[in-house]
Structure 1
């Protein structure tokens, strides 16, 4: 017998090792937890022969998971997506259950076991798919919205399934009564929550928040979550249902996001423990012996759900390409499948051998999910011939916008930053083409006269259609660094010489973006701190010219391309003498007869004069930090950095060689 402390230590040590490896390989951590469970369980090293204590601890993981699902249960959000959630989502879950029940009947499986198995296989991975959608900037695409809507319905469907599955183990004559009593209890609890609980909860959390104690706030969250879980268990229902109701109580209050952040560490750790206990039931030897059955179940799961989801999407009026993409995204299994399967095993509805096959198929499908998503575009183009025409029309629309423009800017992403940038470019008379993946935003902005088109900047053909061969600059406004890197790699493949300006949240990924070829990286954290500092200094009475000078100096140190400014012929009366001697940028054109033509930068010895050559522009190509052996040609433009006197000496040397 293993005591609780030893149990926790063994599980934590295994989880730290395996999950760390899985995260470094960019694989879902849930698979690492399952492997730890399989390794320490009774079918392998047998370090945990008695899993009763572990199961009890792990049940709290499901409790906190259902609590966070309850927090996401927003009535306005559900109403805005009602057609997808309660239309497409309901069709997918019900059709999956009915198909499995039909196949189970043909195979001689009881209807209760078939129903439970259908509910298990109907689930998809909310954690994996939502992250993939976010990383690929496809949350606002048509198939992205359908995927999120179906996942939301699946999360909600878990609640009644957690009530139904344990009741299915009852004798047939008592089943109806058991279900009726359980349903009645659930309805009463929901009514209390919806009509009385929210107002009470809002008032109570207002009182708690006034204490300004993070410890007191966290204690209340835990008390409410575990208290309602205990009450529903006392009423003969699952603890998970009580946690879901607790989440619903808080979801409509203004403290929802604070609670969600506080509860996340508990949820992730305990949910990981739950998946470890699921893995303990994996008999690797039995799975290897049943490998043909596992592969058959895996193929049936992937193909069956693809056909069901794709067909349901078509019934709801989606195009063939969108339906195929949604089907591919949702065809794999999910973590809630393991939650339901644990209930199925507890109720002894499935034979142990079949349960092993189902667990193995779910694990393999979740491993394949990211690969299927990555290959989804190629698969759709093969399966749906009309997608070629749709893709051609999209590229034609982009090419039409860029056909008659030259030396323009390509803006990748037309969110808030992209729109502000577009307005500034327009005011300066600079043409731009914006690419965005939100169809609603593109439609509204295009109707308002903005030059924005639907397109993915991470695709080579999109950039070519946007006229990257003629563009003067590319600006990537994505907040996500990985998405920016994908877009930048395609930009560099098409035009290695075009300057790229990238936005980033902070300076953590600065070196990665610069190494990928960004001419300049603009961290929002730096700029916001400069603005905060300038306003604070002004309110403290610091003279405005001194503030502007200080901000200029900081930016000059931070941004290579902004070290100095271009000066016109005007003089500012308020500037002090030292201000006039500040370094600035100056452009010099290598006109016919210029001494420097045909000579290298090293031979001109600009550094002796205290002048730095920042860039060389040649035939619309801007080379930042040119090498000393760069040979100057006719019509080259040199961008120099120095004080006015130093720049005057540099011009003399460039033109006359003195």
Structure 2
């Protein structure tokens, strides 16, 4: 005879679905973040608030959580799917291009913050082993909350998004040696050495290498086999198996499940199944992350905070301030713009979800006491609860601070300069172009709006000036009338477009070579009148193709010719105008003295001609 169903077994699921389907839409209607909504609801219906009252009023137990442990593993899956999707969006190629920020900015942030917080722990009376673990744990930030906020606001491609992701990625990598270090310290707290730390890191790297090698040979054939069945259900099941299975394999190796899922995502990013997998995982990630944020809210014990409110609140504020200041200073070393530095610093200031994982292991190993663990988790929970507010305040605060800062007057080049090229933006790409021009003894001037970049390059003797190349009056001061070429190298699409429009308005015949984010951006820039738009993704593919041809035995000359042919194909596909027709159009516009906007309006109204050039009327 079948066992009757116990309705109470579904209580937690029903409460969560009610929160996600009813309460969170109300928060969104009020203009509040869904993350903040889950945190508030989790705090209210958690075991430390209404859940505690359920012992006095039993009927209340049907609507609240009396314990949170059963939710912990389900909540971790939300972080697993989030990192899995991030890996798919990145790919190893993009990750390699970000290695300077990941291992430079992220590594320095982790090292400096851990050292500072460890010394604070020693000053507060913690044992050396406990102080080191506490310092390491508090150095971590919330990957789940920050990445979800950046994803919702589509800010991954911004300076803030790239800097934040780089720091968070290194922190996720650092979780592995931290957990291994906890195990070492728990086994013998009296004698741990620097060699133990290196051993932990080496074990982590070996485990990561094994996962990558096995995954590279198994994942694509498995997905092809399943895709051949033409069953969407089987493909979904296989995708979930890969995401969770990779995390489980990583956990068996002593790593975090989130990192294993991230590595699987990186491997799948290079396959033809990438887009389909993203569509499958997205809804699971959203729901399970909601569980995670609900769990964080449940862990905020307001009764303990009531006993020492100032201690916990000031400790959370101090943690945010210390970490934010460190990130602000270190980010300045990597020439990150000031507004992005401030936004990144505020987002990295609070603690992270991995504190709950690491502290559980540290407590079980006797590295920290119960009192220290409880206090630390309350501080981390309070700081994490402030992330939506900090994110909301970061951009207007950055704008106000930058507006209040003393303005550095724009410095135009001296009159009579022999420069033939203007380089707008003197970052990595701009410096490379400058070096090539110097090698061929072609005079140029560089323009950048970051005073730190200008000061640093001036010390090296570069002809660089502080200013905004999108301002027509500044371009005139740069003697644009005698310039042959303008290279627009900024990595922010909007700035590239502004400079292009301003330069084309000043000179109809000047050559404008602009950096494009992708093929869509290139099409847009051609519409604004650039002479040449260079999409980063296409050029990287062409360079890779050239190397493959040469290594495959094709003569260098033939390989280069093939690359040039493919580049011309891409130019036609992107709408690069015919040079003769463009020059004729520019001469006509200059003769008639009409604006580009008026010309485009006139062209749109005119009937199409076979040659593509409108006739005078």
TM-score normalised to structure 1 length: 0.56
How far apart are the structure 1 equivalents of 2:409 and 2:165?
Answer: 22
How far apart are the structure 2 equivalents of 1:261 and 1:55?
Answer: 25
Residue 100 of structure 1, CA deviation: 0.8
Kept after mapping to 1: 8 A contact 2:469/2:475: no
Q: Which of 30, 33, 46 pairs up with 1:28?
A: 33
Residue 237 of structure 1, CA deviation: 5.0
How far apart are the structure 1 equivalents of 2:148 and 2:74?
Answer: 27
Counterparts of 1:239-254 in structure 2 under 5 Å? 239-254=257-272
Gaps of 5+ in 2: 1-5, 52-63, 412-448, 452-465, 481-491, 533-600, 609-617
Residue 22 (structure 2) pairs with residue 4 (structure 1): no
- The aligned counterpart of 1:369 is 391
Residue 374 (structure 2) pairs with residue 359 (structure 1): no
How far apart are the structure 2 equivalents of 1:277 and 1:567?
Answer: 63
Residue 198 of structure 1, CA deviation: 0.4
Q: 1:363 to 1:113 in 2, by over 3 A?
A: farther
Q: 1:23 to 1:271 in 2, by over 3 A?
A: same
Q: Which of 203, 224, 234 pairs up with 1:216?
A: 234
Cα deviations by residue, 1:500-525 (Å, 9 ceiling, x for unpaired): xxxxxxxxxxxxxxxxxxxxxxxxxx
How far apart are the structure 1 equivalents of 2:266 and 2:606?
Answer: 61
Residue 4 (structure 2) pairs with residue 16 (structure 1): no
Q: Which of 347, 358, 361 pairs up with 1:343?
A: 358
Kept after mapping to 2: 8 A contact 1:124/1:334: yes
How far apart are the structure 2 equivalents of 1:133 and 1:55?
Answer: 24
Q: 1:345 to 1:363 in 2, by over 3 A?
A: farther
Kept after mapping to 1: 8 A contact 2:312/2:379: yes
- The aligned counterpart of 1:399 is 472
Q: Which of 105, 126, 130 pairs up with 1:109?
A: 126
Larger Rg: 1
Kept after mapping to 1: 8 A contact 2:42/2:296: yes
Kept after mapping to 2: 8 A contact 1:120/1:341: no
How far apart are the structure 2 equivalents of 1:214 and 1:158?
Answer: 35
Residue 106 of structure 1, CA deviation: 0.6
How far apart are the structure 2 equivalents of 1:375 and 1:125?
Answer: 21
- The aligned counterpart of 2:66 is 49
- The aligned counterpart of 1:326 is 341
Q: Which of 86, 89, 97 pairs up with 1:80?
A: 97
Gaps of 5+ in 1: 406-412, 453-561, 571-658
User: What's the Cα RMSD here?
Assistant: 5.0
- The aligned counterpart of 1:40 is 45
Residue 82 of structure 1, CA deviation: 1.8
How far apart are the structure 1 equivalents of 2:69 and 2:149?
Answer: 35
Residue 21 of structure 1, CA deviation: 3.1
- The aligned counterpart of 2:274 is 256
How far apart are the structure 2 equivalents of 1:245 and 1:434?
Answer: 37
Kept after mapping to 1: 8 A contact 2:410/2:467: no
How far apart are the structure 1 equivalents of 2:350 and 2:265?
Answer: 19
How far apart are the structure 1 equivalents of 2:158 and 2:296?
Answer: 35
- The aligned counterpart of 2:115 is 98
- The aligned counterpart of 1:520 is none
Counterparts of 1:486-505 in structure 2 under 5 Å? none
Residue 132 of structure 1, CA deviation: 7.0
Structure 1 SS opposite 2:352 = helix
Of residues 364-373 and 238-247 in structure 1, the stretch that sits farther from structure 2 once superposed is: 238-247
Structure 2 SS opposite 1:172 = coil
Residue 330 (structure 2) pairs with residue 312 (structure 1): yes
TM-score normalised to structure 2 length: 0.59
Cα deviations by residue, 1:550-599 (Å, 9 ceiling, x for unpaired): xxxxxxxxxxxx9xx9689x9xxxxxxxxxxxxxxxxxxxxxxxxxxxxx
Kept after mapping to 1: 8 A contact 2:319/2:350: no
- The aligned counterpart of 2:401 is 379
Kept after mapping to 2: 8 A contact 1:305/1:330: yes
Kept after mapping to 2: 8 A contact 1:39/1:45: yes
Q: 1:323 to 1:161 in 2, by over 3 A?
A: farther
Cα deviations by residue, 1:415-471 (Å, 9 ceiling, x for unpaired): 79979x979x99xx899x999998xx99xx89x98499xxxxxxxxxxxxxxxxxxx
Of residues 7-16 and 129-138 in structure 1, the stretch that sits farther from structure 2 once superposed is: 129-138
Kept after mapping to 2: 8 A contact 1:43/1:280: yes
Cα deviations by residue, 1:263-282 (Å, 9 ceiling, x for unpaired): 12112211221222222221
How far apart are the structure 2 equivalents of 1:246 and 1:384?
Answer: 48
How far apart are the structure 2 equivalents of 1:416 and 1:213?
Answer: 46
Cα deviations by residue, 1:376-411 (Å, 9 ceiling, x for unpaired): 022134456549985996458513279899xxxxxx
How far apart are the structure 2 equivalents of 1:179 and 1:5?
Answer: 44
Structure 1 SS opposite 2:19 = helix
Counterparts of 1:152-191 in structure 2 under 5 Å? 152-161=169-178, 163-165=180-182, 169-172=186-189, 186-191=204-209
Structure 2 SS opposite 1:212 = coil
How far apart are the structure 2 equivalents of 1:54 and 1:135?
Answer: 24
Counterparts of 1:597-616 in structure 2 under 5 Å? none
How far apart are the structure 2 equivalents of 1:422 and 1:23?
Answer: 38
Kept after mapping to 1: 8 A contact 2:359/2:373: no
How far apart are the structure 2 equivalents of 1:370 and 1:395?
Answer: 28
Q: How many residues align?
A: 446
Q: Determine which structure has the larger helix proportion and give its number.
A: 2
How far apart are the structure 2 equivalents of 1:128 and 1:52?
Answer: 20
